[in-house]
A and B are shown apart, each in its own frame.
Chain A
Amino acid sequence: MARMTFVMDARRCIGCQACTVACKAENDVPLGVWRTQIRSKEVGKYPSVRRHFYQWICAQCGNCVEASQNNGVGAVSRRADGIVLVDYEKLTKGRTKKQIDTEIDAAIEACPIGAFSRNPVTGMPEKCTQCAHRVDKGLVPACAQTCLGRARIYGDASDPKSEVSQVLGRNSARPAPPNDCSDPYVFYIELEGSLVDRGALEGFAQVKTSDLNSGKIDQVVNSLGGK
């Protein structure tokens, strides 16, 4: 059984954000929310300043799947190859706005890293699909396709011949902390642990129903995620 997996090599990332932009272009992700992003943190005192990078992306762990089942009709589900997708028809058909929002908000709450959010234009769920439409054609996701330093490697971890398997075999890779992601499909090589604290995880993309109702979303979009 295929197990589609990302391996992020933090050693090779220089934070150019080509993946971020490629994803937004590929998936028409609106301004103000992101499906993946490079987050960085500067450490040290002059002149020994270093920058650590964290390739923030949905770990496809399935927490949102469970939340969606427990709080709605289970519109979020995992495919056989591991990719977690939203069935928009199932989510909306014949249901009230309140029911829909409850299910979406439960999924947003369940995500430990803020990777499940709302599309501020449509109000519908927004999450990384690992570019399933490309993967089904034998292509890799847009972010991995463009990664200039080859810091994002994508493939089937159940196939011992795949690059992902080989990279996983050669290196010690682990999921990003914290360990709340129940069954992650994204692994990191030499990720700086201190970077992945709650602050870094609960990022720009977490748009909730309350934000939309309170008008806070305007701020999110207007500030373009800026500080």
Chain B
Amino acid sequence: MSSSNKDKKREKGFPVSRRRFLQVSGGVAAAGLLGAAAKKGVASTPPASEKKLLPVNLPIPETIIKKSVCHQCPGRCGIDVYVTDGKVHRIFGNPDHPIANGKLCPKGYFGAQILYDPDRFKSPMKRTNPKKGRNEDPKFVPITWDEALDTIAKRLKGLRGKGESHRFALCFGRGWGASDVGTIETFGKLYGSPNIPIGHASMCSEGSKRAKRATDGNDSYSAYDYDNANYILSFGAGLLEAFRPLNYVIQKWGKLRDKSPRARITQVDVRKSTTAIAADRSLIIKPGTDGALALAISHVILTEGLWNKKFVGDFKDKTNKFKTGETIDAKQFTEKWVSGLIEWWNAELKDRTPKWAAEVCRVSADDITIAAREFATGGPSIALMERGATTYPNGVYNGMAIHSLNALVGSMFAKGGLMYQMKPPYGPLPANADDYMDDYAKAIGGKGIPRVDMAGTSEWPLAGTMLQEVAKNHLAGKPYKLDTVMFYLTNPIFSAPDCKKWEEALKDIFVIDTSPFPGETAIYADLVVPDHTYLERYQDTPIYPTYGYPTTNLRTPVIPPLYDTKYIGDTIIEIGKRLGGKTGEYFNAIKDSVNVLKHLAKGFEKEPGDNGVKDFKGWEEKGFWAKKPYHWKQIEGEFYEWDGKDYNKKMTQAEVKERLLKTPSGKFEVKSNLLIQHAGYISKKYGITADRVGFPQWVAPKYTGGGDLHLIVPKYAFHAEGRGANLPLSIEQFQPYVGGRKGTYLEMHPKTAMARKINEEDKVKISTSLGSIEAKVRFYEGCQEDVVVLPFEFGHWAMGRWAKGRGSSNSNEIIENVSDPISGLASYNASLCKVEKI
């Protein structure tokens, strides 16, 4: 079957008519519908004797295996892409890659469907219908790249001419590395806009980063030594559903369960999630109370004398004076690597008993005590969290309470504990951006123009980015109205809390979308400059915090781009060139994104990877550069540095402060200097006294929405990044679990449903103060009676033919835009709702 016929058939889609069946039933070859893959085996020729029994006995042309990097989550698994006759037909994990280990999670296999998606944008396009709306056809017409880039450059020059360069914003979601976000950041600096870029971290998992910065000085996610851990205490982390890298974490989960002695896992969650079900023990708590539980665990660890004395320090007379309800004189305690412990105890912990937490969290006090003892004595132990515990208005305090557990048991930088991720030794770029700043760009910083999202201003002093505020602020004209916004791998018009605001805001903004696919943003776009899909582009992807030692992958085009698309890095460089002046000079010197990557790779010359990669060519061939080991280790309360053979070099206090515990005190701060610097702001926001702001503490979360049931919106394992809603293979496996072809399930406890006269499969209206959405009900015994669960990602109104027509169940439409005042993380899980039968 020729490829064009095949494409036609794909576009026709289902259903398959009986006539069609009759037409093809006489044929021998079973033509699959998945991917546009030619029906060929893996590069294998069957032995002659078995040949006639094989289901497929067509001649098998040569298959080339290309190395690249997955794009379905931020995990960055190395992949082997099988290309036969110029067609991608299989994707497997790269067996050499330290994250993938030859395996992939279910999302990894979707690649070919993204590449051959029949709805892809095939060239730059401009809008011809000036009216914007959900149901307005943009009436796109194809244009040339020259026209598209000139249009953008002209707009940007115009804004700069009026001194309004800040009215251009570039919002990005998944940034991968130096060749995309790195280029964008430099562009912002040279062009002169505080809004280039506005990242999406405040809608992702900024809370855990800020909790870590407040306590140990690292504004980062953590890397974990799962191999040597013996106890995992997970606070709402979807280890088997969404934690990154999912592939790696599930592999490690298998290992943890298999070794002797078997590692134990306790899952704290608000429902019986897949992870909670598979864990040894689960503590099902009231949403948003993770911090209270963590504080009570700390209370038990201290009162029972179970803390790691070599890391934390001890009482001078070696007798434990932590007694419930009693304050202690700080002079009696000698601190080692934890700063402010006695003050924390006196101000907060002394009353945070398991009995107290049992009431707040709704679990038994005995279970808390047992979890605390197991955690403190069954080590090495890790306490971990991401969105589950931090997407509440008290997120950072929850996170700090959780992360402090790692300090109390001495897991920081220890074997079987947690650490941070080392960065790859990239070489310098061909030009230094600082040398190309013109007077305008130099002056802009001094003009006091805030970011449009107000991140880093007195409104959100500790937030790095506040993407969810952009639409609201634009509509209010405060601090100013935007003129032009470009989007890269983010779709806040669907994914931001109170996302309908974006539909209003984008009406009078010139919108540039870079997505290769028609999503909701594109419906509002004035200009589309489509990116390559991930299997068509070069891109560096240094890994997320995973295991500590540095690793960076190279995404390579496994086939030439199918359509007239352009890599975002090159789109930015080309716009830069067209801006002229010093910016133009810089981007002419940079040349293109492959040139950027080649310069980055020069850094490997001095430090070849463990797999022998020492230049761009090797990087491309192997798909990654990685160099073991992680360089630092805390052993029994002392820090050591790798000297090339072992952790032999003992570190001074100053070295620890510079490299590992980067707080002002150089210690793990349970009295956070960072928060104390912002005491006025924080005490006002939470209504607590200024002397308390530095401590990890219990602050009751304010729930939004105004209903009687907690609305929890988790991510599931089939949620492929950004495109899962339109991938047939994903939807096919996912949909029966989350609601079938035409709807989405709302998980509900049978009792709760019965009380509302709701039966399984009934259609219901889920309402909050912002409005309502619809879903079908699925009874689930694992739900708390006042908790309902609706996975996000569903209810798309654009996105392609597969995403459409599955009901209006986008949870983001009814979740209020309320954020944690410290991190700025949107409180996605803090909403209450009402559920009624339709």
Contacts and interface: CB of A to CB of B under 8 A. Distances in A.
B53 A224 contact: no
A24 B113 CA distance: 12
Given A49-B277, A88-B55, A31 B728 contact: yes
A58 B21 CA distance: 25
Contacts of A32: 732
B28, B32, B90: which has the most chain A beta carbons within 10 Å? Answer: B32
Contact of A46 (B37, B104, B729, B781): B781
A126 B137 CA distance: 42
Nearest to A97: B25
B102 to A, nearest CB: 7
A148 B16 CA distance: 34
A77 B732 CA distance: 31
Contacts of A226: 735-736, 739-741
A51 B274 CA distance: 8
Contacts of B33: 28, 30-31, 121
A144 B155 CA distance: 54
21 contacts: A14-B253, A16-B105, A21-B733, A25-B112, A31-B732, A46-B272, A89-B52, A92-B26, A97-B26, A120-B21, A121-B20, A122-B27, A132-B50, A139-B42, A148-B103, A148-B247, A150-B254, A217-B21, A222-B15, A224-B731, A227-B740
Dominant SS among interface residues on chain A: loop
B251 A224 contact: no
Given A86-B55, A222-B15, A227 B251 contact: no
A87 interface: yes
B15 A218 contact: yes
A87 B740 contact: no
Contacts of B109: 18, 21-22, 24-25
Contacts of B444: none
Interface residues of B, number: 82
Interface in B702-757: 717-718, 728-729, 731-733, 735-736, 739-741, 749
A121 B44 contact: no
A47 B276 CA distance: 10
A148 B105 contact: yes
A154 to B, nearest CB: 14
A17 interface: yes
A227 to B, nearest CB: 6
Contacts of B282: 47
A47 B272 contact: yes
Contacts of B741: 222-224, 226
B728 to A, nearest CB: 6
Contacts, number: 225
B97 to A, nearest CB: 14
A44 interface: yes
Contact of A133 (B34, B54, B761, B782): B54
Give the 9 A-B residue pairs with the shortest CB-CB distance, closest first: A28-B32, A226-B740, A123-B25, A149-B254, A148-B250, A218-B15, A49-B782, A226-B736, A133-B41
B91 interface: yes
Contact of A25 (B57, B718, B729): B729
A20 interface: yes
B24 A122 contact: yes
B65 to A, nearest CB: 13
A134 B732 contact: no
A25 B727 CA distance: 13
Contacts of A49: 272, 277, 781-782
B21 A26 contact: no
A122 B247 CA distance: 34
Interface residues of A, number: 72
B31 interface: yes
B35 A121 contact: no
A18 B104 contact: yes
A14 to B, nearest CB: 5
A122 B784 contact: no
Contact of B103 (A46, A77, A90, A145): A145
Contacts of B739: 226
Contacts of B103: 18, 145-148
A92 to B, nearest CB: 6
A139 B65 CA distance: 15
B92 interface: yes
Given A46-B782, A145-B92, A30 B44 contact: no
A161 interface: no
A17 B52 contact: no
B258 interface: yes
Q: Which of A132, A134, A137, A224 has the most CB of B within 10 A?
A: A224
B512 interface: no
Contacts of A120: 16, 21
A158 B503 CA distance: 64
A123 B21 contact: yes
Contacts of A14: 240, 250, 253, 274, 278
A31 B34 contact: yes
B47 interface: yes
A148 B42 contact: no
Contacts of A26: 42, 90
Contacts of A30: 32-34
A15 B736 CA distance: 14
B18 interface: yes
Contact of A124 (B25, B34, B50, B783): B25
A28 B43 CA distance: 15
Interface string A26-65: 1111111000000000101111011100000000000000
Contacts of A174: none
A213 B18 contact: yes
Contacts of A88: 28, 30, 55
